[in-house]
């Protein structure tokens, strides 16, 4: 019915603390066995070989193979068999939320939930690890991987994910402690791990997440390159994030933080052409999504217009300063009227108070060459000498004043 051809074996040795009772077929630990040696009537869960119970007074009680064969995964496979038995007894299991990565953020395709447990399938070929343990969770075949400590690396998880996708089953990892002694794992702790601890479980592969990823890939498109090559990498931006020489565009660093970008830096797969930001947007009318894109585009165009006005004003101010410097050397030029600092602050604040309405990369100066900034906490416009910190991309006119920084 189900087949797995994956073998993942890393060194994970310890004494053997669990075996299979030959009479009942149940998993037993070394403390449940009353007799020593071969009289324990137990065998190995992995190789089926006979066990000797070593219950002396000096060393830890443990099992050993009669043949002295070193069966590395006997403990883990015994825990898999115990898990299979518990799944048959439990009615439900707690499953973690299903995450879907969209660019730099993650959304949930489904919140964590209680799933019903149906038929449980177990198979373990000789020298195979991990065993194939599949349970029908809400009628969906799901492979259960018990991760004892940090056993699986990224390459191992990719193998498991690829096989689960090819076989059309889900695959979930349930973390358990690395086996160091008999107290590492017990039936009560194993039951709690299955029915709870949802924050520690994670999906190696989930079909629901794959379907959402496919829908997102189909909705996204790579924008065409725009602007001369001398500008560097730039994409034709449907949101009009940047403007130059009559063309709207976006740099890769703009796309990196954009909520419509599906790819990671420096690539861009834009969802704005479809108007999709979130998974829930697939249920909304296309006209409504396009209207939101249009509103955002207009807001960006207005932002660019205000930035252009500020740049023009700054250029005029620069020319004004140059003109002042030229005439300052003229002998017949009357000496400028000395204005007190308080009057300069009053005039300067009145002059620049309307220049804080949009993001900008250009600092705000008044006619006295004094830089002004707006405190993001108290909202007051103050000269730079009383600011504790200021500046940043798109925030050349914003900062935090010294008074607010002390709060």
Mean pLDDT of 10-31: 88
**pLDDT digit string, tens, across residues 135-176:** 999 999 999 999 998 899 999 999 999 999 999 999 999 999
Q: Is 280 exposed, middle or buried (0-12, 13-18, 19+ CB in 10 A)?
A: exposed
pLDDT at 230: 64
Residue that the structure tokens 């250029």 belong to = 315
Query: How many Cβ atoms are within 10 Å of 88's Cβ, its own excluded?
Result: 12
Q: Is 130 exposed, middle or buried (0-12, 13-18, 19+ CB in 10 A)?
A: buried
**pLDDT digit string, tens, across residues 334-350:** 566 678 888 888 888 88
Rounded to the nearest integer, the mean pLDDT of the chain is 89
- Are residues 227 and 196 part of one domain? no
Query: How many Cβ atoms are within 10 Å of 256's Cβ, its own excluded?
Result: 17
pLDDT at 228: 63
- Are residues 156 and 35 part of one domain? yes
Query: How many Cβ atoms are within 10 Å of 134's Cβ, its own excluded?
Result: 23
The answer to whether the CB of 253 falls within 8 A of the CB of 242 is no
Query: Is residue 305 a part of any domain in this protein?
Result: no
Sign of CA dihedral 113, 117, 118, 119: positive
Q: What percent of the chain has pLDDT over 90?
A: 54
- Are residues 259 and 370 part of one domain? no
Residues 75, 177: Cα–Cα separation, whole Å: 12
Looking at the predicted structure, is the pLDDT value of residue 99 above 90?
Answer: yes
Which residue, 211, 233, 262, sits at the end of a domain?
Answer: 211
Which residue, 211, 237, 256, sits at the end of a domain?
Answer: 211
pLDDT at 395: 83
**pLDDT digit string, tens, across residues 201-219:** 999 999 999 999 999 999 9
- Are residues 248 and 170 part of one domain? no
Residue of higher predicted confidence among 372 and 230 = 372
CA distances from 88 to 174, 216, 313 (A): 17, 37, 76
Query: Is residue 308 a part of any domain in this protein?
Result: no
**pLDDT digit string, tens, across residues 263-288:** 988 889 999 999 999 999 999 999 99
DSSP annotation of 283: G
Question: 310: pLDDT confidence band, cut at 50, 70 and 90?
Answer: very high
Which residue, 211, 231, 260, sits at the end of a domain?
Answer: 211
Query: Is residue 5 a part of any domain in this protein?
Result: no
- Are residues 158 and 203 part of one domain? yes
pLDDT at 261: 94
Query: Is residue 304 a part of any domain in this protein?
Result: no
**Which of 317, 304, 312 is CA-nearest to residue 394?**
304
Helix, strand, or coil here: 392?
A: coil
Q: Is 189 exposed, middle or buried (0-12, 13-18, 19+ CB in 10 A)?
A: middle
- Are residues 274 and 178 part of one domain? no
Mean pLDDT of 19-39: 91
DSSP 202-271: EEEE-HHHHHHHHHHHHH-BPPPB-S-GGG-S-EE-TT--EEETTEEEE-HHHHHT-TTB-S-TT---B-
- Beta carbons within 8 Å of 158's beta carbon, 6+ residues apart: none
Residues 287, 271: Cα–Cα separation, whole Å: 15
The answer to whether the CB of 178 falls within 8 A of the CB of 12 is yes
Q: What is the CA radius of gyration of the chain?
A: 34
Residues 78, 44: Cα–Cα separation, whole Å: 8
Range of lowest pLDDT (17-21, 24-28, 328-332): 328-332
Question: 232: pLDDT confidence band, cut at 50, 70 and 90?
Answer: confident
**Which of 380, 356, 385, 354 is CA-nearest to residue 368?**
385
- Are residues 282 and 191 part of one domain? no
- Are residues 258 and 197 part of one domain? no
Residues 88, 28: Cα–Cα separation, whole Å: 17
DSSP annotation of 149: S
| Helix-, strand-, coil-residue percentages of the chain, each rounded to 5 | 35, 25, 40
pLDDT at 337: 67
- Are residues 238 and 199 part of one domain? no
**pLDDT digit string, tens, across residues 32-75:** 998 999 999 999 998 889 999 998 887 889 999 988 777 888 99
The answer to whether the CB of 241 falls within 8 A of the CB of 226 is no
Domain range holding 260?
Answer: 220-298
Say what the pTM is: 0.72
- The pairing of beta strand 140-148 with beta strand 170-176: parallel
Query: Is residue 1 a part of any domain in this protein?
Result: no
pLDDT at 328: 56
Q: What percent of the chain has pLDDT over 70?
A: 96
When divided into structural domains, the chain yields a total of 3
**pLDDT digit string, tens, across residues 361-404:** 888 898 888 999 999 889 899 999 999 988 887 788 889 999 88
Query: Is residue 306 a part of any domain in this protein?
Result: no
- Beta carbons within 8 Å of 75's beta carbon, 6+ residues apart: 14, 16, 17, 18, 179
Question: 97: pLDDT confidence band, cut at 50, 70 and 90?
Answer: very high
pLDDT at 327: 57
pLDDT at 273: 93
- Are residues 261 and 231 part of one domain? yes
- Are residues 267 and 196 part of one domain? no
- Are residues 117 and 157 part of one domain? yes
Query: Is residue 292 a part of any domain in this protein?
Result: yes
Alpha helices (H) in 24-153, listed in sequence order: 74-89
DSSP annotation of 393: T
Q: Burial letters for 144-165: b for 16+ Cβ neighbours within 10 Å, e otherwise?
A: bbbbbeebbeeebbeebbebbe
At 189, which helix (H) or strand (E)? Answer: helix 187-195
Query: Is residue 199 a part of any domain in this protein?
Result: yes
**pLDDT digit string, tens, across residues 165-204:** 999 999 999 999 988 888 888 888 889 888 887 888 999 9
Looking at the predicted structure, is the pLDDT value of residue 323 above 80?
Answer: no
pLDDT at 244: 85
DSSP annotation of 144: E
């Amino acid at each position: 019915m189900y087949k797995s051809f994956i073998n993942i074996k890393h060194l994970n040795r310890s004494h053997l603390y669990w075996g299979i009772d030959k009479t009942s077929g149940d998993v037993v630990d070394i403390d449940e066995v009353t007799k020593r040696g071969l009289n324990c009537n137990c065998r190995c869960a992995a190789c089926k070989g006979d066990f000797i119970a070593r219950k002396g007074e000096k060393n830890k009680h443990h099992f050993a193979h009669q043949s002295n064969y070193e069966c590395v995964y006997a403990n883990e496979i015994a825990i898999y068999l115990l898990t299979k038995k518990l799944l048959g007894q439990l009615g439900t299991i707690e499953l973690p939320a299903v995450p879907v990565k969209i660019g730099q953020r993650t959304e949930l395709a489904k919140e964590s939930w209680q799933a019903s447990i149906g038929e449980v399938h177990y198979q373990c070929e000789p020298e195979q690890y991990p065993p194939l343990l599949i349970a029908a969770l809400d009628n969906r075949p799901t492979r259960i991987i018990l991760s004892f400590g940090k056993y699986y690396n990224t390459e191992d998880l990719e193998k498991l994910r690829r096989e689960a996708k090819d076989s059309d089953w889900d695959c979930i990892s349930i973390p358990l402690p690395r086996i160091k002694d008999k107290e590492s794992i017990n039936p009560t702790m194993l039951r709690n791990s299955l029915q709870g601890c949802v924050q520690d479980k994670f999906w190696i592969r989930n079909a629901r997440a794959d379907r959402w990823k496919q829908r997102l890939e189909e909705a996204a498109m790579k924008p065409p390159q725009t602007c001369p090559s001398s500008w560097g990498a730039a994409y034709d931006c449907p949101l009009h994030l940047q403007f130059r020489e009559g063309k709207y565009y976006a740099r890769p660093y703009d796309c990196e933080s954009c909520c419509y970008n599906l790819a990671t830096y420096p690539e861009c797969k834009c969802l704005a052409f479809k108007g999709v930001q979130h998974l829930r947007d697939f249920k909304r009318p296309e006209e409504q999504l396009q209207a939101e894109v249009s509103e955002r585009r207009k807001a960006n165009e207005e932002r660019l217009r205000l930035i252009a006005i500020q740049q023009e004003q700054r250029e005029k101010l620069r020319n004004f300063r140059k003109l002042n410097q030229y005439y300052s050397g003229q002998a017949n030029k009357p000496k400028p009227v000395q204005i007190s600092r308080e009057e300069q602050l009053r005039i300067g604040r009145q002059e620049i108070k309307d220049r804080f309405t949009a993001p900008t990369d250009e600092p705000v100066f008044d006619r006295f060459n004094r830089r002004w900034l707006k405190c993001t906490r108290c909202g007051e416009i103050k000269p730079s000498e009383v600011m504790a910190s200021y500046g940043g991309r798109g925030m050349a006119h914003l900062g935090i004043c010294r008074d607010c920084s002390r709060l």
